[in-house]
Amino acid sequence: MSTVGIDNTLRDKSRELVQRHYQELEDNARGKRKVVYLFTTGLIVELFRAFDFSVVYPEINAIHSSRQHRSVQLISDSELLGYAPNICSYVKCDLGLLAGPSKGQAKFGKIPPPDLIVVNQCGCSTYIKWGHALREKFHCPVKVIDIPFIHDDCPTGFDHEYVRRQIEDLIPVCEEISGVRFDPDRLKEILELTSDTIDLWMKMQELGKLKPSPFDAFFEGVSYMAPLTMWRGTVEARDFYKLADNIIRDRIKSNYTPYGRENFRLLFEGSPPWPSFSEFRGMFKAWSAVGVASTYLYVSVAPGDLEFSPEKPLDYLASLATQSYYNWNLQKRWNHIETLIKDYEVDAIIIHSVRSCRPSSVGQLDMRNYFARDKGIPSLFLDSDVADPRFFSSAQVLNRIDTFFEALSQRKKINERIL
């Protein structure tokens, strides 16, 4: 297996698009375009692109602040404003940036204030309070898209209609704030780009089934998903995944795998510990353990019935809104993980539980027990946080990972002898 001859074109292109996004926001801080704040689960960004809004993603601001090691200061700033230590660290990181001494000025650019906040409430009730906290700071309208939790295998017809009508009600609000008349044809063009982008994204993940996997679906995949959220509905996003498809298929021809060899095939459940991301990755790289599948890649859009019809653009938007992994019931999540284990020939599950995020971490201990005890799949449970590095103990995490892979190595040797 080889790592030779593989460049960083894809990583660099993703980084370039992120930088362009923040540069456009900084340019817009002077008030050139109206600004909407959106959340990433239940995302319906296409509607706002049709009205030429500039889009801010509060969670993504928190992620990039964490990657640049500013989260501790921002979290402290928000706690000085009165926010409790045990609430979502994304919330505190974002509010520390926007309402604290930083006044929206981050290393990656100046974040403009919102003209509209849309709480696409999907799997996380904290979004509503987050939106209200932002409204208190910026005194702008807040609209809530209430997305029903998926209790069975898929949204019901009533769920779909309920979400679609809420999206319809947003159209006159957007017209009034943006000063742009709604153009159905413009929305259809944007949604067609989204449909193409999502198809490419899903096909890219399928390549993790290959042996060896040509990319790490967790440590690379979370970087490659940035255009899927920040640029969805644009030519730039679609072209990025076309480029990704070409590059990864070239990797396949050279028998490439991310760490030179593939000793273990892993499925990752949960969000990354962003402040310690590089260090965390190195702990798995040392064991040549490759993430061939990751549930985190389904945050913005999950597998489901997402066929685009130009005649029904608002129906497609409603389907996009309801298709988020964090909106699934636990049994649906477990069934999907079981399918991934089989299809991707996974050796083990790595569960990263987030202390400050109840919606993403609820049921994960039960999940670990279910797969380890009932299904015989080795499962490692790790506990830290997405934005607060004070919950990440390097020595403790490394010890648990090394111990786990030592045991997993012995297990594989025994199985090879039996075979």
**141-151: pLDDT as tens digits:** 999 999 998 88
Instruction: Give Cβ neighbours of residue 90 (< 8 Å, ≥ 6 apart).
Output: 58, 59, 62, 63, 356, 357, 386, 387
- Which segment of 202-206, 241-245, 345-349, 410-414 scores lowest on mean pLDDT? 410-414
| Token pair in block for residue 331 | 């049994």
> Is 309 within the bounds of a domain?
yes
Say how many residues make up the chain: 419
What are the pLDDT digits (tens) for 41-66?
888 999 999 999 999 999 999 999 99
Q: Look at residue 4 and tell me if it is in a domain.
A: no
Q: Indicate whether 380 belongs to any domain.
A: yes
Domain membership flag for residue 327:
yes
Q: What is the pLDDT of residue 3?
A: 47
Asked whether residue 191 carries a pLDDT value surpassing 50, the answer given is: yes
- The pLDDT assigned to 302 comes to 80
- pLDDT, tens digit, for every residue of 373-386? 999 999 999 999 99
Q: What is the mean pLDDT of the chain?
A: 91
State pLDDT tens for residues 229-279.
999 999 999 999 999 999 999 999 988 999 999 999 999 999 999 999 999
* pTM attached to this predicted model: 0.93
Output the pLDDT for position 305: 72
Domain residue limits at 111: 9-418
Total count of domains within the chain: 1
CA distance linking residue 263 with residue 248, whole number of Å: 20
State the helix-helix crossing angle for 235-253 and 184-206, rounded to 10 degrees: 20
2: in domain: no
Given a cut of 90, is residue 155 above it in pLDDT? no
Instruction: Give me the half-sphere count of Cα atoms (radius 13 Å) on the Cβ side of residue 267.
Output: 24
The answer to whether residue 213 is domain-embedded is yes
Structure tokens at 205: 């993940």
Q: What is the pLDDT of residues 316-359, one digit of tens each?
A: 999 999 888 888 888 999 999 999 999 999 999 999 999 888 77
For residue 242, tell me if it sits in a domain.
yes
Rg (CA), the chain: 21
Judge if the upstream peptide bond of residue 155 is cis by omega within 30 degrees of 0: no
387 found inside a domain: yes
